[in-house]
Chain A
Amino acid sequence: EPEVTQTPSHQVTQMGQEVILRCVPISNHLYFYWYRQILGQKVEFLVSFYNNEISEKSEIFDDQFSVERPDGSNFTLKIRSTKLEDSAMYFCASNTGSDNSPLHFGNGTRLTVT
């Protein structure tokens, strides 16, 4: 069964540093998403992406966040200047976008900001 894959599984960075989290969505999917989950809290929507542009974003997705699809397979989330409160699990998801097709999630990247 095709999967959404994310790398790295764990990223440790110092406050103020830039990080890039990478995702390879399922190949025939057209919509891509990032969610995050702070330890012990709910899964929160960050951003959706379609046709090389952002479709929707939440209040969390401020100017320090950006997304990109640099090639035909990767989908990245960049955090320009990390803060301690950015420490969380970041999940990538994708779906076909048709007929309410469900989102398929990767296993996440655990980001630890020190």
Chain B
Amino acid sequence: LAKTTQPISMDSYEGQEVNITCSHNNIATNDYITWYQQFPSQGPRFIIQGYKTKVTNEVASLFIPADRKSSTLSLPRVSLSDTAVYYCLVGDISSGSARQLTFGSGTQLTVLP
């Protein structure tokens, strides 16, 4: 199982770009990298997923270097409502192997006015 390491917390100000980096040194060939956001008392919400290079969607970008041993979630121009815990998950969830998806402690992002 690929173990992930993220900063425990980060602070930012409204309007800034936030980059959260996750280390996953023992990522396996078939593993994908998925980021989730969680607000208090709510379920994790899917943000973005990638395998290599760069992925962008309407809310975030995900940068994955060639060796895939880390990944960086980039949130452009954050607002107060982006205050949440962000989780990096690494695993192969083909055929329902979700046991391999292990939630770590996540990164508590606090956006300040």
Name A residues whose Cβ lies closer than 8 Å to a Cβ of B: 4, 31, 33, 35, 42-45, 48-50, 55-58, 89, 91, 93, 95, 97-108, 110
Tell me, in angstroms, the Cα distance from A57 to B99 when the chains sit together: 7
Contact of A98 among B34, B45, B49, B94 (CB under 8 A): B94
Contact of B93 among A57, A91, A95, A108 (CB under 8 A): A95
Q: Is B103 an interface residue (CB 8 A)?
A: yes
Those 4 A-B pairs whose CB atoms lie nearest each other, nearest first: A105-B43, A43-B103, A31-B96, A100-B32
What would be 25 A-B contacts, judged by CB atoms less than 8 Å apart? A4-B43, A31-B96, A33-B98, A44-B103, A48-B96, A48-B97, A48-B98, A55-B95, A56-B97, A93-B43, A95-B96, A97-B96, A100-B94, A102-B34, A102-B49, A102-B93, A103-B46, A103-B93, A103-B98, A103-B101, A105-B44, A105-B45, A105-B46, A108-B43, A110-B41
Q: Is B29 an interface residue (CB 8 A)?
A: no
Contact of B96 among A35, A42, A50 (CB under 8 A): A50
Q: Is B42 an interface residue (CB 8 A)?
A: yes
Q: Is B53 an interface residue (CB 8 A)?
A: no
Interface size class of B (residues with CB under 8 A): 20 to 34
Other CB < 8 Å A-B pairs besides A56-B99, A100-B32, A106-B43, 10 of them?
Answer: A45-B98, A50-B96, A93-B43, A97-B93, A97-B94, A100-B49, A102-B34, A105-B43, A108-B42, A108-B43
Q: Is B102 an interface residue (CB 8 A)?
A: yes
Q: Which chain B positions have C-beta within 8 A of A33?
A: 98
